[in-house]
Amino acid sequence: MRKIVAALLLSVALLCLPLGGRGEEIDLSPTAAPTAEPEPAADPTPVAVAPLLEAPPFQCECAAMLLMEADTGQIIFEMNADSPRPVASITKVMTILLTLEALDQGRLKADDVVAVSPEAAGMGGSQVLLDAGERQSVSTLLKCAIVGSANDAAVALAEAMYGSEAACADAMNRRAEQLGMANTHFVNCTGLPAEGQQTTARDVAVMSRRMFAHPAYFDYSAVWMEDIDHGDGRITQLVNTNKLIKLYDGCDGGKTGSTGEAGYCVTATARRGGMRLIAVVLGASEGKQRFAIARQMFDYGFANYRLYPVAQRGTRVKGQLPVTGGAADGVTLALDGDLTLLIPKGGEQAVTLTPELPETLPAPVTAGQAVGRVVVRLNGREVAGIPVVAREDVAARGLAPGLRRLWEHWLAVG
């Protein structure tokens, strides 16, 4: 008897379901993109890996270079970007990044006082002339590392974070792996010559982009000249090694480095009109030359490119997507992501949006359910995809309430 009742109930349920069919053609193009330029995101994901240009637009005498837009992570052009090489004090970008992250995480505080070890005080190369036993705040040590590229300050910070420079180097390598810096290996935290220590222009840009994403970094990076009080009546003077702070309008940060094996290097950033660029120059033959090349790179980027806000999360997609077997005939859709592209100035018409969606969706549909995507192309080349989601729930069309209760009761007692 139970089997007969169950069969009757199932027959009724099937009769209540509509037949699937092809929905009418509807307009699924996204609404107009916003026109205001957004502030750069703090920790964005690169939109595309391939550079916009196949080769640099001018000749430069250096071993490697790369120009990146910081918000999108888009590379404008590059040269020998994946060739491993020593980069001298550019290594300190990772030391500084780990310090900034430790401050964000509360593992360090800016006013924590660090006692300088004999190992830190004995570092050669560029330094702020710290004495063994001298006590300085984390904030002061960070300023010395950023502004003056001080090796002694960098080692003092490494020891404050990890107990030793060797342990800090291990942490630097772990962080590099997390960031996808596949051609980088650190041996120390200063960039002093060491066998096996190497990185690339691309990896330098990656870690620089992370460093520049910390607002606290810019509290120090634009300092041009400052006295450091060693607490015993002795005063030494910091002078910013990044001359672009004075030489280039909009430059507010960067890191220099130079040794005999590395040549002259710089990773610098400049911001104009809401767009931030990162220029990496490695292996120049003279100090002035690296700055001249970086200036030329910045000039080209700012003159020829702009940020174009393509879409905002929550933007409604026009029309409805048909739903089969649902309490409603269709569901409205929305974009589930933000997207800003770096494009040539005047190249807005080269950006196209093409929906990739099914003809229908089977009920039930849940708000936020992924249903497809919008493909974004620049000059016909796919550069990104924006997920499309349902904006509301659509319940399945099922049994009448009385029959549903009977069916649920039957299942419970059966």
Tokens of 42: 């703090």
DSSP summary character for residue 225: E
Residue-level length of the chain: 414
Q: How far apart are CA 337 and CA 194, in angstroms?
A: 44
| 301 backbone dihedrals φ, ψ, rounded to 5° | -65, -45
In contact, 67 and 300? CB cutoff 8 Å: yes
Amino acid letter at 276? Answer: R
Helices (H), 106-150: 118-121, 138-148
| 325 backbone dihedrals φ, ψ, rounded to 5° | 70, 25
Q: How far apart are CA 163 and CA 152, in angstroms?
A: 15
Tokens of 286: 């003279």
Q: Which residues of 290-303 are buried (b: 16+ CB within 10 A; e: fewer)?
A: bbbbbbbbbebbbe
- Would you please indicate which residues are annotated as catalytic (active-site) residues? 89, 92, 149
What H or E segment, with its residue span, contains residue 78? Answer: strand 75-79
User: Measuring CA to CA, which residue among 61, 63, 119, 127 is closest to residue 89?
Assistant: 127
User: Cα angle vertex 209, ends 205, 210, to 5°?
Assistant: 125
Q: How far apart are CA 403 and CA 410, in angstroms?
A: 10
